[in-house]
Structure 1
Amino acid sequence: MHGVRGGPIVSLLRRRKKTIVGRWNGVSGRNGGWMVVVLQVVVEVLDAYERGDKFYLYTGRGPSSEALHLGHLIPFMFTKYLQEAFKVPLVIQLTDDEKCMWKNLSVEESQRLARENAKDIIACGFDVTKTFIFSDFDYVGGAFYKNMVKVAKCVTLNKAMGIFGFSGEDHIGKLSFPPVQAVPSFPSSFPHLFPGNDKLRCLIPCAIDQDPYFRMTRDVAPRLGYSKPALIESSFFPALQASGENGKMSASDPNSAIYVTDTAKEIKNKINRYAFSGGQDSIEKHREIGANLEVDIPVKYLSFFLDDDTELEHIKKEYGEGRMLTGEVKKRLTEVLTEKVERHRMARAAVTDEMVDAFMAVRPLPSMFE
C-alpha cells in the first residue's frame, strides 16, 4: 500500500469542492506527508457529492488513557476540516467496550475515560448541530445491534482470525467486537439521524491501523445492501525519538509524545531532550553540510503545526543549508506547541458535563446538511 502526500489530498478535495477556502496545516501540500488515500471510492463519494448526493463522516476513539497526545488529536482536526468544508454530519464512536476487553479496564473506568476523552474531542471545535458522539456501552442496541448481527453472520471464524490475528488464547469478547466498529458505516445504524436513507454514503477518516476493521466492512457491505464506506487513512504521527518513517507516538512511553496536559516546562524538556534531530554532530560540520530534513522531527512537527508557510520555508532553507542550528529550530517548535497545547487546554476547560451530554444525546440533527 503506497502513501500519497498530503498535498494531493487537499488538491483532490479542492477540485471536488471548489468553494473550500484556506487550508488545514495537517493536510497542506507543504507538510512532511502523512495522509494516504487507499481507496478509489473516495473519489466516487466526492464525485457523487458534486452531483448533489450527500454523505456523512464517521470516526472514532478508543478511550484507554486519561489524556490525549497530539497524535490522537490530529485525526479529529482533519475530520473537523472535512465537516466544515463539506457541511456534512459526523458520528464519533467511543469504543469503551473495546478498551474494557483489550486493556483489562473495568466497565466503569472505560465509561469514565470515554467521557473524559469526549471533552478533548469536543474541544477541537466540532459543531453540536452536526455531530453525534456515542459510547458503545450506552448506544448499542436496536437498529445498531441488528446490523451487528447481520455483519457477524457474514464473517467466518477463520476469516476473522486471518484479518485480526485472533488466537485460541483470546477471549470471545475480542471476537465479538469487529461488527461493533463496522456498523457505524451503515446509515441505518442511526435511525434518529438518517431515517429511511439507507443509501447514504459514509466517509471514514481514521488511522491506518484501523484498516482491518474496514476491509472487513467493505467486503460485507454490498451483501447487506449498503454502499462500501470510503476511507482516508493517516499514517502515524511520529514519536519524538523517531527517525525516518518508523516509530509512532505511544501512550505507554510519555517521552515519545506531547500531551495536551503537558506544561510549558515539560514540552520544552521533551523537545530538547528527546526530539530526534537531523542536524550534524558538530557546529562546524552542520555549517558545512546542513541538516537532514527528511529525518528531523522538529521540522516534521513544524510542518504540521506552524501556521506561517513563509516562516516554515525559511526555517527549512536556513536549517537545511546549515545557517540555522538545531537549538534554534527546537526553540521555535517549543513556542509553537506550547501555544497550541495551551489553546486546547483552555478550550477543554470550557467543555462542561452538560455540553458532553448535548453531543451524546440521541436526537435528530435537522440542520446537519446546512
Structure 2
Amino acid sequence: MAEKKEQPDASKDEPEQIVDPWRVVTTSEKGVDYDKLIRQFGSERIDDAMLKRFEEVTGHKPHRFLRRGIFFSHRELKNILDLYEAKKPFFLYTGRGPSSSSMHVGHLIPFIFTKWLQDVFDVPLVVQMTDDEKFLWRELETPDVARNLAYENAKDIISCGFHRDKTFIFSNIDYISSCAAFYKNMLKVEKLVTFNQVRGIFGFNESDAIGKISFPAIQATPSFSNSFPEIFGEAADVPCLIPCAIDQDPYFRMTRDVAPKLNYLKPALIHSTFFPALQGAQTKMSASDKTSSIFLTDTQEEIKNKINRYAYSGGGSTEAEHREKGGDCDVDISYQYLTFFLEDDDRLAKIKEEYSSGRMMTGELKRELVVVLQSLIGDIQEKRRAVTDDIRRHFMTPRKLNHKA
C-alpha cells in the first residue's frame, strides 16, 4: 500500500518552509513548523500514549529526546514495540554523510539516540556512510577523498560508545563493490523507481548527474536485512527501525513504496527535529561554516567563545528590558541546545522559569550551556583518542554480529 502523500499547505499566513534532504529553510525565527511537516509527509506524532507504551514494553524511562519531543514523529514504531514484546528480532539502521573531517554537535543527535536504542533493545545496528553521495553532491576531488572523510567520521561515531560486536559501520564505496547481495538489492530498487518518481520526490532535473538520480536506491538498500549476508544470511524478513532527522524521510517514503513490490518488509522510522545553527533556527547547520556550530574538534576555549559570540539570544536588548519582559526560550539558542544535552528535567525547567521571568540573564544562560557542552565534547574527544585504526577497521569489517536470532 502506497504511503499517504499530502501537498504542503499553501496558506500565505504561515511562514514559508522548505524541507528536503539538502535544504531546511524557514522564514520563522522559531524554526520549522513540525505539525505542518507531519501533515505534509503523512507521518504520525509520538504522543503520550506511545511514550507510555514504550516504557511499559522496554522497562526504560523514555530518553530525554523522546520526553522533550526532539524525536517527535514515526512510522510504525508500534510494530517495532510489538516485535520486541514478542521477543522477535529486528535491527537498527542509521547513517552519516561525511562532508567534513569532523562532525559537529548536531550530527551527534541521531547517534546519541541510536546508541540508547541499541542498549535498550539489545539489537544489531548498521551505519551507512554515504561517501558516494558526498562525492556526487560536493566538490570533492576523488572518491578516495570522500572515503577518507568517512573513515574519520566513523571514529567520531565509534566514540559515542556503540557496542563493537553489535555494530557494523560501512562505507558505500567499499561495501557496494564487495557485497553482491547489497548490489542486487540496489538493482531491484533501481528497476522499480522511475525518473519521474524521483524527480517528484527529490526535485531532480535533466541537468543533474545520473549518479544523483540513482542514489536514493543506495540509501534504501540497508533497510532490507538480506543486504547484509554476513549478519543475517539470506533472511529477508528481519524488520528495520531507522532513527533519522525528518529531512531524510523522503528516501524512506520511496523505500516503503518499493518494499512490498520486492516482498520485503517496510522499514519503520522515528524522526527527529533539526538541531539549530548557533545563529538561529531558520536553517540547519553547515559543516562548511565553522561558526554555525560546535565541532567535536573544538577546544574548551573555542566552545566557550563560540557560544558567547554566536549563540542567538532570546533576551532583551538591554538589561532593564530583559528584567522587565524576560527571555524568549522558543528562539534562544542556548536554551534550545540545553533541551538537547541537559539530562536533568528539573534543572531544565528551572532554567526556563528563571530566564523567561528575567531573573536569569543571557550571559548566565550561556554559562550553563558552556559547562554542559565542554563536558560532553571533552568526554567524546577522550574516547576518540582511544579509537585506533585497528578499532575502526573492526567496526567496518563485514562480519557476524552478536544479535538475537
User: What TM-score range do you get, normalising by the shorter chain?
Assistant: over 0.9
Q: Deviations over 1:300-344 (max 9, x none)?
A: 111211233332222111111111111111111111111111111
Amino acid at match of 2:236: D
Matched, 1:218 2:256: yes
**Where does residue 191 of structure 1 map in the other structure?**
229
SS at match of 1:279: coil
Percent of paired sites with the same residue: 53
The answer to whether the aligner puts 1:204 opposite 2:239 as a matched pair is no
Shift of the 340–8 alpha-carbon distance from structure 1 to 2, 3 Å rule, reads farther
Structure 1 residue 253, shift from structure 2 partner: 2.0
2:123 is aligned to 88
| 1: CA distance, partners of 2:326 / 2:312 | 15
Q: Choose 317-326 or 4-13, whichever is displaced more.
A: 4-13
Name 2:404's counterpart in structure 1. Answer: 369
Deviation at 1:10, TM superposition (A): 4.6
In the alignment, what sits opposite 2:153?
A: 117
Q: Whole-Å Cα distance in 2 between the matches of residues 369 and 128 of structure 1?
A: 15
Residue 347 of structure 1: aligned partner: 383
How many correspondences in the alignment?
361
CA contact (8 A) 2:70 2:340 kept: no
Q: Which residue of 2 aligns with 1:286?
A: 322
Residues 244-255 of structure 1 aligned to structure 2 (within 5 Å): 246-255=282-291
List per-residue Cα deviations over 1:58-110 (Å, max 9, x = no partner): 01111110111000011101000111000110000111111111113211101
Q: Secondary structure at the match of 2:81?
A: helix
Change (3 A) 1:6 1:101: farther
Match of 1:56 in 2: 91
Rounded Cα–Cα distance in structure 1 between residues aligned with 2:49 and 2:202: 31
Corresponding residue of 1:14: 55
Superposed, 1:221-236 pairs within 5 Å as: 221-236=259-274
Query: How far is 1:13 from its partner?
Result: 2.4
Alignment pair present for 1:137 and 2:173? yes
Q: Does 1:36 align with 2:76?
A: no
Q: 2:106 aligns with which of 49, 56, 71?
A: 71
Structure 2 match to 1:301: 337
Equivalent residues of 1:239, 1:247 under 8 A apart: yes
Provide the residue aligned with 2:200 in structure 1: 162
Query: Structure 1 residues 115, 6: CA separation in 2 closer, same or farther (over 3 Å shift)?
Result: farther
* Equivalent position amino acid for 2:217 in 1: P
Q: Distance in 1 between matches of 2:404 and 2:127?
A: 17
Match in the other structure for 1:323: 359
Contact 1:9 1:35 in 2 (8 A): no
Conserved? CA contact 1:54–1:201, under 8 Å: yes
Distance 1:85 1:151 in 2: 32
Moved more, 251-260 or 216-225: 251-260
Looking at structure 2, the residues matched to 311 and 5 of structure 1 have their Cα atoms a distance apart, in angstroms, of 24
2:285 aligns to what SS in structure 1?
Answer: coil
CA distance in 1, matches of 2:172, 2:378: 31
Post-superposition offset of 1:28: 4.6
Deviates most, 356-365 or 6-15: 6-15
Cα distance in 2, alignment partners of residues 86 and 248 from structure 1 = 30
Q: Flag structure 2 segments of 5+ consecutive residues without an equivalent.
A: 1-36, 39-43
Query: Of 100, 119, 123, which residue of structure 1 is paired with 2:135?
Result: 100
Are 1:56 and 1:88, in contact at CA under 8 Å, matched by a contact in 2? yes
Counterpart secondary structure, 1:180:
helix
TM-score (norm 2): 0.85
RMSD: 1.8
| Secondary structure class of the residue paired with 1:206 | strand
How far did 1:259 drift?
A: 0.5
Q: How far, CA to CA, are the matches of 1:241 and 1:133 in structure 2?
A: 32
Letter in 1 for 2:172: D
Distance 1:6 1:319 in 2: 28
Counterpart secondary structure, 2:394: helix
Distance 2:292 2:151 in 1: 25
Task: Verify the 8 A CA contact 1:267 1:334 in the aligned structure 2.
Answer: yes
CA distance change for structure 1 residues 115 and 9 in 2, over 3 Å: closer, same or farther? farther
Is the 8 Å Cα contact of residues 56 and 90 (structure 1) preserved in structure 2? Answer: yes
Number of the residue aligned with 2:296:
260
Q: Is the 8 A contact 2:99 2:287 kept in 1?
A: no
Q: Is the 8 A contact 1:7 1:28 kept in 2?
A: no
- Aligned-pair CA distance for 1:5: 6.6
Q: 1:313 aligns with which of 340, 344, 349?
A: 349
Q: Which amino acid aligns with 2:272?
A: S
- CA distance in 1 between counterparts of 2:49 and 2:112 reads 18
